[in-house]
Structure 1
């Protein structure tokens, strides 16, 4: 199915993130994302998107193709730069046209990611936990090109920041603390004590 519109918003009353997707072929799917799920999913999703972007650049033979074999930090930087450039052109002002009620919204239990850089496609599959062991889980799977992927990542990042869930932010990368130089320690004044 081809995505027409995506909406990702934090709902404070439910303390969950609501994902709504409408498709060009018609219809809408909705899913709840919980804090517990996103604590594990967010870093994995960011790494998968960074790998996808780097491999996509390598497959297209662009100047950034050498990044495909670079370290993780460089890949993430390339992904962030491509995302920023893509999102500058995206239209986030058009309101989402909701078509369905939230009665049958699935509660996401499992997420599968499918990266196909040679086809310039990144797919996400969401599954809920079946009510009984014999029942089949509800599934929601959609494919995106790089532009839609970056826009979706921005929407998800904004929803995570609005939630206040203390999930490590995408835009802030913390540098590891380094040990002070020996020269700096030698030049420091010794503490003075009063008895």
Structure 2
């Protein structure tokens, strides 16, 4: 899918988050994020998104003069600032009724597992799975995220977790789940790239 917009909104009645991704071709993917999965995903995205920015913003070659050092530092600063920015003002593009193209069906996935893998081309591959007892077939999808998109997704996740007040629950009551796969510390994946405070006003990412 050629991603156009991403939305994460906390649904108080469900006490979980709705992740929505629409493409430039009009299709839409929907998935529920539970508290345990969302809180486990946040530090993974924190780490991998920061690594993406560091890899892109760090000069490949050592400067040979003081002027070059200053120029490279300025370029790196501007690049990192642009990577961390995103369009959070444009409303998510809702379609009247159900979207015409729902590849995974009208019912959102209830996510039970998420895998985040750094790719050799600087992107992140995020795989999302619904594995439920008695389910005939596993429902799943994957998205490829460049640095601005992964940092935008991280921002939306932070905002929704803050709105949910899940972090107000004592830490001792939150058992770390085993269903979020962390990438290795030194990922060398060479696979090709395939593929807000107000409840009424969730934040979006274009």
Q: TM-score range by the shorter chain?
A: 0.5 to 0.7
User: How many residue pairs end up in the alignment?
Assistant: 147
Q: Which runs of 5 or more structure 2 residues have no equivalent in the other structure? A: 63-75, 100-104, 170-206
Structure (1/2) with the larger helix percentage: 1
**Normalised by the size of structure 2, how large is the TM-score?**
0.62
Distance 1:167 1:124 in 2: 28
- Residues 91 and 55 of structure 1, relative CA distance in 2, 3 Å threshold: closer
* Aligned residue number for residue 112 of structure 1: 115
Pairwise CA RMSD: 2.8
Q: C-alpha offsets along residues 26-83 of structure 1, whole Å, 9 cap, x if unaligned?
A: 310110101111232222222222233333445x6277xxxxxxxxxxxxxx9xx93x
Q: Which runs of 5 or more structure 1 residues have no equivalent in the other structure? A: 64-77, 169-195
1:86 and 2:89 correspond:
no
- Residues 129 and 24 of structure 1, relative CA distance in 2, 3 Å threshold: same
**Normalised by the size of structure 1, how large is the TM-score?**
0.65
Larger radius of gyration: 1
Q: C-alpha offsets along residues 88-116 of structure 1, whole Å, 9 cap, x if unaligned?
A: 4x221111112437951111000011211
Q: Deviating runs (4+, > 4 A) in structure 1?
A: none
Higher relative CO (Cα under 8 Å, sequence separation at least 6) belongs to 2
